């Protein structure tokens, strides 16, 4: 496949598979192998396990607590999303009560690769922008879905909970992290009551730029007392210079 086949400019602008050509009735060998590699990476991300012990060591300067959902293993977690939304028996008793302005949860979700690559940098960059707020211990949650953050936040008396979680991998990104923010977390919160930043990875929203937006959302959520469809994300885009020139400060 030549580089001047009319598709090159579009390929440079996206990681989507466009203009991949054909060999007879099938794909060119190079494209077929690339597809199989991407599929394998996605499967590995879903079935992989986050090295939470190493992550806790990397967060040694902060208080860290490990909890698990009601899903007893990975296979059950993938079959029973409902169990991933609930804390396991006795887990809530291990969570210290606040009150805290913000509690951060790092959850494995559906991509161990995303959590291991981007969660700690995103967490550190966000907390660095939250001077003056009371931050609770960092909670590392295994076999966790987004809504597990509501149970954790409620148990810890958090005004808002921010869940950093591995997103379902695709064939263009197996390491995409999501950040979900919920005001007044409690079990039963609807998806429409939380804000989401998605596609946090090297080819999407970088952890540093995501932190700018997440910190803005946290402060607005605390100021207005709400999240979800009622909180419109209007944070400055870190990729665009302010009117006076230069990069938007964090």
What pLDDT does 37 receive?
85
Structure tokens of 241? 């210079």
What pLDDT does 23 receive?
80
Structure tokens of 176? 């995409």
C-beta separation of 179 from 208 below 8 A: no
Q: Which of 41-55, 155-169, 170-184, 226-240 has the highest mean pLDDT?
A: 155-169
Mean per-residue pLDDT, 64-78: 95
Mean per-residue pLDDT, 228-239: 75
C-beta separation of 242 from 250 below 8 A: no
Q: pLDDT (tens digit, 9 = 90+) per residue, 14-43?
A: 777 777 777 888 888 888 888 788 788 877
Q: What is the mean pLDDT of the chain?
A: 88
CA angle 134/99/235 to nearest 5° reads 45
Q: How confident is the model at residue 46 (pLDDT cuts 50, 70, 90)?
A: confident
- In percent, the amount of the chain with pLDDT more than 70 equals 92
| Cα–Cα distance measured from residue 48 to residue 4, given in angstroms and rounded to the nearest whole number | 39
Q: Higher model confidence: residue 158 or residue 234? A: 158
CA-derived radius of gyration, the chain: 20
pTM of the predicted protein model: 0.83
Q: pLDDT (tens digit, 9 = 90+) per residue, 113-135?
A: 999 999 999 999 999 999 999 99
What pLDDT does 36 receive?
83
Which of 5-14, 152-161, 196-205 comes out lowest in average pLDDT? 5-14
Non-local CB neighbours of 164 within 8 Å, separated by 6+ positions: 104, 105, 106, 107, 115, 119, 122, 123, 177, 178, 179
Pick the CATH number of 52-230 from 3.90.1010.10, 3.40.50.11240, 3.40.640.10, 3.40.190.10: 3.40.50.11240
Q: pLDDT (tens digit, 9 = 90+) per residue, 134-150?
A: 999 999 999 999 999 99
What pLDDT does 245 receive?
53
């Amino acid at each position: 496949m030549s580089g001047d086949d009319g598709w090159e400019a579009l390929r440079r602008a996206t990681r989507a598979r466009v203009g991949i050509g054909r060999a007879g009735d099938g794909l060119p060998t190079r494209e077929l192998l690339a597809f199989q590699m991407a599929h394998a990476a996605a499967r590995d991300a879903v079935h992989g396990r986050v090295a939470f012990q190493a992550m806790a060591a990397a967060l040694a300067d902060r208080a860290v607590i490990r909890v698990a959902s009601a899903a007893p293993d990975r296979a059950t977690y993938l079959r029973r999303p409902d169990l991933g939304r609930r804390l396991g028996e006795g887990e809530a008793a291990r969570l210290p009560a606040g009150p805290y302005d913000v509690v951060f949860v790092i959850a494995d979700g559906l991509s161990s690769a995303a959590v291991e690559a981007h969660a700690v940098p995103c967490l550190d960059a966000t907390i660095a922008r939250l001077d003056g707020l009371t931050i609770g211990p960092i909670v590392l949650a295994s076999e966790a879905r987004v809504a597990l953050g509501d149970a954790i936040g409620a148990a810890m008396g958090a005004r808002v909970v921010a869940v950093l979680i591995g997103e379902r991998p695709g064939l263009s990104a197996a390491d995409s992290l999501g950040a979900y923010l919920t005001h007044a977390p409690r079990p039963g919160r609807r998806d429409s009551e939380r804000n989401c930043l998605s596609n946090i990875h090297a080819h999407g929203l970088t952890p540093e730029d995501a932190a700018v937006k997440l910190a803005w959302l946290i402060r607005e959520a605390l100021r207005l007392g709400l999240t979800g469809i009622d909180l419109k994300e209007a944070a400055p885009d870190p990729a665009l210079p302010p009117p006076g020139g230069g990069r938007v400060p964090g």
